[in-house]
Structure 1
Amino acid sequence: MVSDVLPCYLVCDVSFSMTDHIDEVNAGMREFRGVVHADRRAAAQIRLCVVVFAERSLVVQPLLPAIEPAEMIRPRQESGSDFGSAFTLLRNTIERDVKSLKAQRIRVRRPILFFVSDGRATDPAWPLALARLTAMASCPEMIAFGLGAVDQPALDRIGTSRVFLGRDGVRLGLALASSVARTVLRPDHV
């Protein structure tokens, strides 16, 4: 039986502006799973939920052990990037997941939210949804990863813990793995 769990939420913009970057996202997820699989301690603790969004948001993989194969992320032919709906869905999903894990008497570490986008939101009210997410009791550690021609101020606002940029040569899988490993190995993060 697992004594504690680190819930991780990979949130990916799949709108038209991200089409050229989806293969990189899928490669990053495979790389992350490989890193987790190689570390028994991490494999036992890390759970991964995958959420995609464009004009609407959708959970494509519920919270499962991170070593299980994740759904391939596919782009949508939607021009909108509704950050607000993604943050609202995440707030509800994280609350439900944490409650479910605690009901199973599993100690839950602070969740990690890894937000992947070019940072170009099409809904002007998204900061309010972000504020609601970060105000919740089980507020996740927020990490942003920018791909393409990013909106740096938007990503800086979202990635309150860290911001990585693909244009700097950072690979998504390693950024995700290093962020999670830093948390799993840090006992004060419980």
Structure 2
Amino acid sequence: MTDGMHHMRQKCLPTYLVIDVSTSMSQHEQVLNQTLKKLHSTLANSPRVSEFAHMSIIAFSTQPWVVIEMTDMEYVPGMPEVACDGMTNYGAAFDLVRDRIDIDLPALTAQGKAVLRPIMFFLTDGAPTDADWESAFRSLVDKGRRRRPHVVTYGFGAAPEEVLGRIATKAAFVADGSSGQDEALSTALHSMLNSLVASAQADELLIPAQATGYKSVPLEYLD
């Protein structure tokens, strides 16, 4: 394919929103579902953004699952609700994202889109409960994989800064304690949405430089 033909295609940023729904998130369950509904509504009513930033939502606790498969959110009639329960197993979530990337990106390419490297926004309020999560993460972001995602992390509650910094490849944020955890959760999702809006306008990935109520965490893993 020539460069000219490539540029004629609609660019697509595959976006994975990976959300901790373990037991410790139970107190935030209502706010989480309300915020996800707002996120869906905003994207569904912003065709340019939803077309550019196709999204998949993955929830994880003891096991991960796909809440919404990779899609243009304009075509999702409503946001399913999530329930919070179980452990905080990072590794299984990373494995699922890796598997889904290998399914989703070829499908988007087959639709005639110019597919950018995916991005994963990872939200958690706790430390991983699985001891071997790092091997799954290394496999997900292995530099030998062309489809490896960029990673932006948001942590609040008991989420450890050093872990957020090890997972992120582009930016890591931890709540600075200036607001309650419910507000920190909704602010994180709002920050992600702002990043997608800006990216759609620029036609390329733009990473949030800051998030209200959060402080930046030094990255250990640089893309």
TM (norm. structure 2) is 0.75
> Structure 1 residue 186 and structure 2 residue 202: aligned?
yes
Structure 1: distance between partners of 2:59 and 2:202: 29
Given the two structures, how large is their TM-score scaled by the length of structure 1? 0.87
CA distance in 1, matches of 2:118, 2:128: 23
Once the two structures are TM-superposed, the CA of residue 38 in structure 1 deviates from its matched residue by 4.6
Structure 1 residue 158 corresponds to structure 2 residue 167? yes
8 Å CA contact 1:30–1:173 kept in 2: the answer is no
Cα 1:75–1:188, aligned 2, differ >3 Å: closer, same or farther? closer
Q: Partner of 2:29 in structure 1?
A: 22
Partner of 2:66: 59
Q: Take 2:31 and 2:156, find their aligned partners in 1: how far apart are those partners?
A: 9
C-alpha deviations, 1:38-87, integer Å up to 9, x for none? 533213222221111111111121112123232212112x2x21111110
Q: Is the 8 A contact 2:126 2:157 kept in 1?
A: no
Q: Which whole-Å CA distance do the structure 2 matches of 1:168 and 1:100 have between them?
A: 42
Partner Cα distance (1:179, 1:61) in 2: 20
Provide the rounded CA distance (Å) in 2 between the counterparts of 1:93 and 1:19.
26
Q: Secondary structure at the match of 1:138?
A: coil
Aligned-residue identity in percent = 26
Over 3 Å counting, the alpha-carbon distance change for 1:28 and 1:64 in structure 2 is: same
Structure with more contact order per residue of length (Cα contacts < 8 Å, sep ≥ 6): 1
Code of the residue aligned with 1:66 in structure 2: it is: M
Are 2:113 and 1:106 aligned?
yes
Q: What secondary structure sits across from 2:12 in the alignment?
A: strand
Matched, 1:140 2:149: yes
Which of 3, 6, 11 aligns to 2:13? It is: 6
Show CA shifts across 1:150-170 (max 9, x none): 211111112221223344555
Aligned residue among 89, 96, 105 for 1:89: 96
Runs of 4+ off more than 6 Å: none
Aligned AA (1:21): H
Q: Tell me by how many angstroms 1:116 deviates.
A: 1.1
Aligned to 1:177: 193
Distance 2:45 2:63 in 1: 35
Please say which of residues 122-131 and 169-178 is displaced more in the overlay.
169-178
Specify every segment of 5 or more residues in structure 1 that has no aligned partner in the other structure, as ranges.
Answer: none
Kindly tell me the number of residue pairs found equivalent between the two proteins.
Answer: 187
* Range 144-153 or range 163-172, more displaced: 163-172
> What is the distance in 2 between the residues matched to 1:38 and 1:83?
32
Q: SS of the residue aligned with 2:153?
A: strand
CA RMSD, Structure 1 to Structure 2 (Å): 2.2
Shift of 1:173: 2.7
The residue type paired with residue 151 of structure 2 is M
Gaps of 5+ in 2: 1-8, 207-223
Matches of 1:147 and 1:34, distance apart in 2: 25
Larger Rg: 2
Helix, strand or coil for the counterpart of 2:54?
Answer: strand
What is the DSSP-based 3-state SS (H/G/I as helix, E as strand, rest coil) of the residue aligned with 1:185? helix
Distance 1:138 1:111 in 2: 7
